[in-house]
Amino acid sequence: MADKILTAEQLNEKVKHCSECLNKKFHLKDGTRAIVVCGGTGCLSSDSQGILHRFQELIKENGLEDTVTANIVGCFGFCSQGPFVKIFPEDTLYTKVKVADVEEIFEKDIKNGEIVERLLFVDPTTKEKVQKQKDINFYKLQKRDIALYGNDTINPEDINEALGYGSFKGLARALTMTRQEVIDEVLKSGLRGRGGAGFPTGRKWQFALNVESNEKYVVCNGDEGDPGAFMDRSIIEGHPINVIEGMMIAGYAIGASNGYFYIRAEYPIAVQRLQNAIKQCEELGLLGDNILGTDFSFRCHIRLGAGAFVCGEETALLNSIEGQRGMPRPRPPFPAVKGLWGKPTVINNVETLANVPFILREGADAYLGIGTEKSKGTKVFALGGKVNNVGLVEVPMGTTLRQLIYDIGGGVPNGKKFKAIQTGGPSGGCLTEKDLDVPIDYESLTARGSMMGSGGAIVMDEDNCMVDVAKFYMEFICDESCGKCTPCRVGTKRILEILERITNGNGKKEDLDALKELAVVVKSNSLCGLGQTATNPVLSTMTSFMDEYEAHVYDKKCPAHVCKNLMEYYIIPEKCIGCGLCARNCPASCIVKTDTPSAKNPKLFIHAIDAEKCVKCGACISGCRFGAIIKR
């Protein structure tokens, strides 16, 4: 157990020492080197832990413990290029590293200062190899020093590195201010909730401060359930101390002495690192009684969610923490007035709390200088789907969708045409090419039928059927609806049934009118945010892609060739050489040889597909080497 730090002066001394150690680590001289390995979930699944262990073994085997270090860091964000290894002080970044590559890196780079060229990132446009992270296009437009502060630099399991990187400077400053002054600073910054609604964070804190109560709470919403979203998980995995500090500042501002992290049980690495960070904070006296010699006392607790999407809704989350079924409560009263166990409670999501230390550390004016007039700061996105550069992105508010998809994301792969981007997950909508130059902020996205959401961004190309996309999200909503209110419980089910009829080829004209009417009813009458936004994917796709709905209903065709009942596999006679490979691969025995000789080889006969027997598995089209089979 480390000595307790009881005063701000003692903390300053500790921070100064840790800062010197960290600075020495990353600005090394005399041939000393530092190796950092990505410790995000994606890279860990590709054995980055094995990469780290092999580096540590080689350091020990070569007797270089005094001159070379190796440790894990948080997510580098560029997920499609991981696992990553970065070497300091040169800032050399190696991509797609395997355990088998470690010895080569160690021998050439660590021991002899020679770059391993084959493991550098190759710019897809120029074909040039890029040595430094900051020179890669994926990173150039980003600002990864607020919510993702320290994520790819410091060891998330070592509080000393966090202290050396500036952690708790914001809290130390806050404790010299009155509670109202702290809230005024957050209000001045313009910080808005990053969980999706965009409500001003300072106003929420003000409501809780104004309520008289013997107990108040801060809750961190880490129940990230949107398909394709991994922002909150990566923030906690990469720098848990930053989120803890944000929670403590919120606790001080409203007069709370306890904070609860509500984290999905499916995030074991995030939970483990958060537990470790809390323990280290307690050992240093940064959590507990009389923090930094003041009368402020605060403790953090962790509660694991069971994976229910509806528990991302703040009142359902409170019920879950209390041990009740995760179902939303009617509002008002709002949680800031009557929340956890009936006490005033501030609920902020992970990213929101991760922004708070920057505001108190650097000042509200520094934060005000980033973003747009009404949307300040940065936003973290999980960029995925049909895009070359899949990963975790932090960009200033006001960055356009075009910059996000093409400059950072590298565009759509395989020469396909961009079709839409879904922002906000199941609660958001689909934006099209005409929206690409829209700045990313709360008002702009909402005005176009989508929303910021927590930060999921799924790119779709010409091969995506938008009716099928709407059906996918409605299936998700139906599965995740808690069933408490009739509009959501019944309405979403009826909408799904209509979408299933349309994609199965049984849609009627009346179904299109019923879809719109039902969507409006569900949106207007549901109890919580899940139901109120559940029909956004349907309404947005009907607005921008009504021609696809009409093709499904009137022509019984799926233009994107996705809906199985509305398309067929067809062998082009002029291209078929009669090899029979497709027939041999077909599990349904639906491909037969005709009596027509092949134009390519008259000694063989072309084949044809029996549409009645075809199960549309795609085995034939993937096995044909001559492009003779198509979907139509």
The pLDDT value recorded for residue 1 is 38
Could you give the C-alpha distances from 163 to 72, 270, 387, 512, in angstroms and in order? 17, 19, 37, 58
The pLDDT value recorded for residue 46 is 95
Percent of the chain with pLDDT over 70: 99
376, two tokens: 């300040």
Could you give the C-alpha distances from 40 to 43, 75, 98, 236, in angstroms and in order? 5, 4, 15, 10
How far apart CA 146 and CA 166 sit, in angstroms, is 12
- C-alpha angle 377-378-383 in degrees, rounded to nearest 5: 165
For 490-546, strand residue ranges (E) read none
Q: What is the pLDDT of residues 515-551, one digit of tens each?
A: 999 999 999 999 998 888 889 999 999 999 999 999 9
The CATH number of 378-461, from 3.30.70.1520, 3.40.50.1400, 3.30.2310.20, 3.10.20.600, is 3.10.20.600
**CATH number 3.30.70.20 is the correct assignment for the domain at 568-631:** yes
Q: Do 218 and 259 form a contact (C-beta atoms < 8 A)?
A: yes
Q: What is the mean pLDDT of the chain?
A: 93
- Counted residue by residue, the chain has a size of 632
pLDDT category at 14 given cuts 50, 70, 90 is: confident
Looking at residue 569, the DSSP 8-state letter turns out to be: E
Helix residue ranges, H only, 211-336: 231-238, 240-254, 268-284, 314-321
Q: Domain 31-132: give its CATH architecture.
A: 3-Layer(aba) Sandwich (3.40)
The pLDDT value recorded for residue 453 is 78
Segment 136-153 shows an average pLDDT of 94
* Lowest-confidence pick of 267-271, 306-310, 352-356: 306-310
The pLDDT value recorded for residue 425 is 81
Please give the CATH topology (third level) of the domain spanning 466-555: de novo design (two linked rop proteins) (1.20.1440)
Q: Using the predicted structure, report yes or no on whether residue 2 has a pLDDT greater than 60.
A: no
Can you identify the CATH homologous superfamily of domain 159-366?
NADH-ubiquinone oxidoreductase 51kDa subunit (3.40.50.11540)
**Nearby residues of 276 by Cβ (< 8 Å), 6 or more positions away:** 157, 240
Q: What is the pLDDT of residues 82-120, one digit of tens each?
A: 999 999 999 999 999 999 999 999 999 999 999 999 999
How far apart CA 570 and CA 175 sit, in angstroms, is 71
The pLDDT value recorded for residue 594 is 92
How many other CB atoms are found less than 10 A from the CB of residue 587? 9
Q: Do 556 and 566 form a contact (C-beta atoms < 8 A)?
A: yes
Could you give the C-alpha distances from 288 to 175, 257, 283, 434, 590, in angstroms and in order? 15, 9, 9, 53, 71
The residue extents of the domains of the chain are 31-132, 159-366, 378-461, 466-555, 568-631
pLDDT category at 4 given cuts 50, 70, 90 is: low
pTM of the model: 0.92
Q: Which of 588, 582, 585, 591 is closest to 626 using CA atoms?
A: 582
